[in-house]
Structure 1
Amino acid sequence: MEILGEKWTMVVLREVFSGIRRFDDMRVRTGIPRQVLANRLSALVGHGVLRREPYREPGARVRHEYRLTEKGFDLYPVMIALAGWGDRYLADPEGPPIRLVHRDCGAGVDAELRCADGHPVTDHRAILPRPGPGAKRRIENEKG
């Protein structure tokens, strides 16, 4: 959550996933204050989620656009799951403002959970948290 937990971060990622890569375009589309947007982009670059690519309009200085890294692209299922949640609980009666579709066939795309053996997990209560290989035992402070 250190990387994704700030409220504007997911908005910035939504824009980049939608093909908006330039600072001014993001600022106009989202209304994010200039310094906040600069900070979010810098943090996402610093964490390796985005990379900066230079470009130059004729007669203008070099600027940068922001592209997803492999680490950033791996957030796509998260973005799809968030969009699905919003579509289910927050969409207008007419429907969601955007549809995510498969480029090859045009069918809708949604996030689906599967276990490592390939079984679909449709009942979220069937998911159990277990300590992983990196888990560390918590030591409680003794008062005395």
Structure 2
Amino acid sequence: MRRKSLSAVACPIARTLDVIGDWWSLLIVRDALRGMSRFSEFQKSLGVSRNILTQRLRVLVEQGILELAPAADGSAYSAYRLTAKGRGLFAILVALGQWGQDNLPTPDAGRMAMVDRKSGQPIRKLEIRASDGRLLGPGETMVTRVA
């Protein structure tokens, strides 16, 4: 079945999923946030076929999430670097990870946690807060058009 483009719909969630809604794209961004930048590093980490990785990287570059740059070591290879737009996906990946920790236990693999690199302490749960600082739940928000 051919995938329908959501790029022109009003809902920002749908438009976002149109760009990063497949698991390979988010896993590429995850690895880039961990410092990976070469095609071979992504392929080794993900175990994805070359053609799928090539296509996902192309889309991420076209969408301004990654940029292609010369390799830092001066070799003939190119490096994929996160842009500010790509680094903006950090909170989404943290939210997905925290949801997975809470709802998809893996008894054999042991529990993982995201920690503050400086202190070594687990990070706090992400929270959604109103402009006045109140903690908000799903029933306390709505999407609306703004001028």
- Please, what TM-score do these two structures have when normalized by structure 1? 0.78
- Would you say 1:54 and 2:70 are equivalent positions? yes
The Cα of 1:124 is off from its aligned counterpart by 2.6
Q: 2:106 aligns to what?
A: 92
Q: 1:126 aligns to what?
A: 140
The Cα of 1:83 is off from its aligned counterpart by 0.5
Q: 1:26 aligns to what?
A: 42
The Cα of 1:45 is off from its aligned counterpart by 0.9
Q: 1:43 aligns to what?
A: 59
Cα pair distance change 1:39/1:126, threshold 3 Å: same
- Would you say 1:69 and 2:88 are equivalent positions? no
For the Cα contact (< 8 Å) 1:81–1:111, is it kept in 2? Answer: yes
The residue identity in structure 2 corresponding to 1:31 is G
Q: Structure 1: which 5+ residue stretches go unaligned?
A: 135-144
| SS of equivalent to 1:120 | coil
The Cα of 1:88 is off from its aligned counterpart by 1.1
The residue identity in structure 2 corresponding to 1:118 is G
| SS of equivalent to 1:29 | helix
Render the CA deviation track for 1:36-63: whole Å, top value 9, x for unaligned.
10111111111111111212768xx611
The Cα of 1:120 is off from its aligned counterpart by 2.2
| SS of equivalent to 1:42 | helix
- Would you say 1:114 and 2:134 are equivalent positions? no
| SS of equivalent to 1:12 | helix
For the Cα contact (< 8 Å) 1:99–1:108, is it kept in 2? Answer: yes
The residue identity in structure 1 corresponding to 2:28 is V
Tell me which structure has the larger Cα radius of gyration. Answer: 1
- Please, what TM-score do these two structures have when normalized by structure 2? 0.77
The residue identity in structure 2 corresponding to 1:116 is S
The structure in which a higher percent of residues are helix is 2
Number of aligned residue pairs: 129
The residue identity in structure 2 corresponding to 1:70 is A
Q: 1:14 aligns to what?
A: 30
| CA distance in structure 1 between the aligned counterparts of 2:49 and 2:106, rounded to whole angstroms | 27
For the Cα contact (< 8 Å) 1:49–1:72, is it kept in 2? Answer: yes
| CA distance in structure 2 between the aligned counterparts of 1:64 and 1:116, rounded to whole angstroms | 42
